Structure 1
Amino acid sequence: MSKRSTTLANHFPAACIAEVSWEVCNQVGGIYTVIRSKAPAMVKHANGPYCMVGPYVNKNIQAELEPLDDSQDVFGQAAAILRKKGFDVLYAEWLVTGKPRVVLLNPNAVQDKSLNVVKYLLWKNHGISTPPDNALINQVILFGYLVKLFFDELVKLVDPEHPIIAHFHEWMAGLPILDIKKERMPIKTIFTTHATQLGRHLAINSPLFYAHLPFFKWEEEAKRFGIETEAKIEVSCAQQADVLSTVSEVTARECRHLLHRKPEVVVPNGLNIERFEALHEFQNQHVMNKEEIHRFVMAHFFQSYSFDLDKTLYFFTSGRYEYKNKGFDLTIEALQRLNARLKKEKSDITVVMFFVTRRDFSNIRPEVLQSKAMMQEIFQTTAAIQQQVGKRLFYQSTVQEDNHLPDLNTFVDEYWKLRYRRTLQAWKTKKNPLVVTHRLINEDQDEVLQALQAKKLLNNADDPVKVVYHPDFINVSSPLFGMDYNQFVRGCHLGIFPSYYEPWGYTPLECMASGIPSVTSDLSGFGDYILHHIEEPEKYGLFVIERGKRTFDWSAGQLTDVMYGFLMQSMRERIMQRNNVENNSSIFDWTNLIKHYKEAYVLAMKNQS
Structure 2
Amino acid sequence: MVDSLISPDYIFETSWEVCNKVGGIYTVLSTRAKTLQDSHKDKVIFIGPDFWIGKDNPLFIELDYLYKPWKLHAETNENLSVRIGRWNIIGEPIVILVDFTSFFSMKNEIYTEAWNHFQVDSLHAYGDYDEASMFSYASGKVVESFYKYNLNRKDRVVYQAHEWMTGLGALYLQTAVPEIATIFTTHATSIGRSIAGNLKPLYDYLFAYNGDQMAQELNMESKHSIEKQTAHHVDCFTTVSDITNKECKELLDKEAEVVLKNGFEDDFVPKGKSFLAKRKKARAKMLNVANKLLGTNLDDDTLLVCTSGRYEFKNKGIDVFIESLNRLNNDINLKKNVVAFINVPAGTPIPRKDLVERLNNGNGITDSLEFPYITHWLDSMSDDRVLNMIKYLGIRNSKDDKVKIIFVPCYLDENDGVFDLSYYDLLLGYDLSVYPSYYEPWGYTPLESIAFHVPTVTTDLTGFGLWIQSIRTQHGLEDGVKVIHRSDNNYIEVADAIKESIISFSNKSEEEIEHIRHRAAVTAEHALWKHFIKYYYKAYDIALRNAKKRQLKSEILIK
Q: TM-score, normalised by structure 1?
A: 0.83
What amino acid does structure 2 have at the position aligned with 1:349? K
Unaligned runs of 5+ in 2: 551-559
1:349 to 336, 359, 363: 336
**Residue in 2 that maps onto 1:212:** 205
Contact 1:432 1:459 in 2 (8 A): no
For 1:275 and 1:24, the matched residues in 2 are separated by 19
Tell me the SS of whatever aligns to 1:244. Answer: strand
In 1, Cα distance between the equivalents of 2:217 and 2:269? 51
User: What corresponds to 1:475 in structure 2?
Assistant: 413
Shift of 1:354: 0.6
Structure 1 residue 312: Cα displacement: 0.8
Structure 1 residue 241 corresponds to structure 2 residue 179: no
Distance 1:182 1:460, change over 3 A: same
Conserved? CA contact 2:293–2:368, under 8 Å: no
For 2:437, the aligned partner's letter is: S
Partner of 1:415: none
The answer to whether structure 1 residue 319 and structure 2 residue 304 are counterparts is: no
SS of residue in 2 equivalent to 1:173: helix
CA apart distance, 1:568 = 0.7
One-letter code aligned to 1:540 = D
1:368 aligns with 2:355: yes
1:473 partner SS: coil
Query: After superposition, where does 1:255-274 map in structure 2 within 5 Å?
Result: 255-274=248-267
SS in 2 for 1:584: helix
- Alignment of 1:571 onto 2:510: yes
- 1:313–1:350 CA contact under 8 A, matched in 2: yes
Instruction: Identify the range of structure 1 (148-157 vs 554-563) with the bigger mean alpha-carbon deviation.
Output: 148-157
> Percent same amino acid at aligned positions?
28
- For the aligned residue pairs, the C-alpha RMSD in angstroms reads 2.6
Structure 1 distance, partners of 2:467, 2:520, is 16
Separation (CA, whole Å) in 1 of partners of 2:294 and 2:57: 42
- Offset of 1:432 from its aligned partner? 7.0
SS at match of 1:168: strand
Cα 1:179–1:310 shift into 2, 3 Å: closer
Matched positions, count:
543
Matched, 1:67 2:63: yes
User: What secondary structure does 2:167 align onto?
Assistant: coil
| Corresponding position of 2:478 | 539
1:168 aligns with 161
| Counterpart Cα distance in 2 of 1:604 and 1:467 | 49
CA–CA distance in 1 between the matches of 2:356 and 2:167?
Answer: 46
Describe the SS at the equivalent of 2:128: helix
1:576 to partner: Cα distance:
2.2
Q: Give the superposition deviation at 1:78.
A: 4.8
- Counterpart in the other structure of 2:498: 559
Work out the CA distance in 2 between the residues paired with 1:462 and 1:128.
59
Residue 146 to residue 497, structure 1, CA distance change in 2 (3 Å): same
Q: Shift of the alpha carbon at 1:232?
A: 0.7
* Contact in 2 for aligned 1:433/1:459 (Cα 8 Å): no
CA spacing shift, 1:537–1:430, aligned 2, 3 Å: closer
Gaps of 5+ in 1: 1-5, 379-423
Say which is worse superposed, 580-589 or 55-64, in terms of deviation: 55-64
Kept in 2, the 8 Å contact 1:546–1:555? The answer is: yes
How far is the alpha carbon of 1:134 from its aligned partner?
4.3
> In 1, distance between residues paired with 2:103 and 2:430?
50
Do the aligned partners of 1:12 and 1:47 also contact (CA within 8 Å) in 2? Answer: no
Asked if 1 retains the 8 angstrom alpha-carbon contact of 2:264 and 2:527, the reply is yes
Change (3 A) 1:577 1:319: same
Shift in CA distance, 154/251, structure 1 to aligned 2, threshold 3 Å: same
The match for 1:458 is 396
SS at structure 2 position matched to 1:450: helix
Q: What SS does structure 2 have at the residue aligned with 1:245? A: strand
| Cross-structure match for 2:139 | 147
Q: Secondary structure at the match of 1:175?
A: helix
Q: Which amino acid aligns with 2:11?
A: I
Match of 2:61, as an amino acid?
A: L
Shift of 1:279: 5.0
Q: Does residue 40 of structure 2 align to residue 50 of structure 1?
A: no
Measure how far apart 1:526 and its partner are.
1.1
Is the partner of 2:113 in helix, strand or coil?
helix
519, 524, 537: which is aligned to 2:457? 519
SS of the equivalent of 1:118 reads helix
Q: Tell me the SS of whatever aligns to 1:491.
A: coil
Q: 1:74-122: per-residue Cα shift (whole Å, max 9, x none)? A: xx665443212232112223232112112222112x1543233223323
User: Per the alignment, do residues 503 and 276 of structure 1 end up closer, same or farther by CA in structure 2, a change over 3 Å counting?
Assistant: closer
Larger Rg: 1
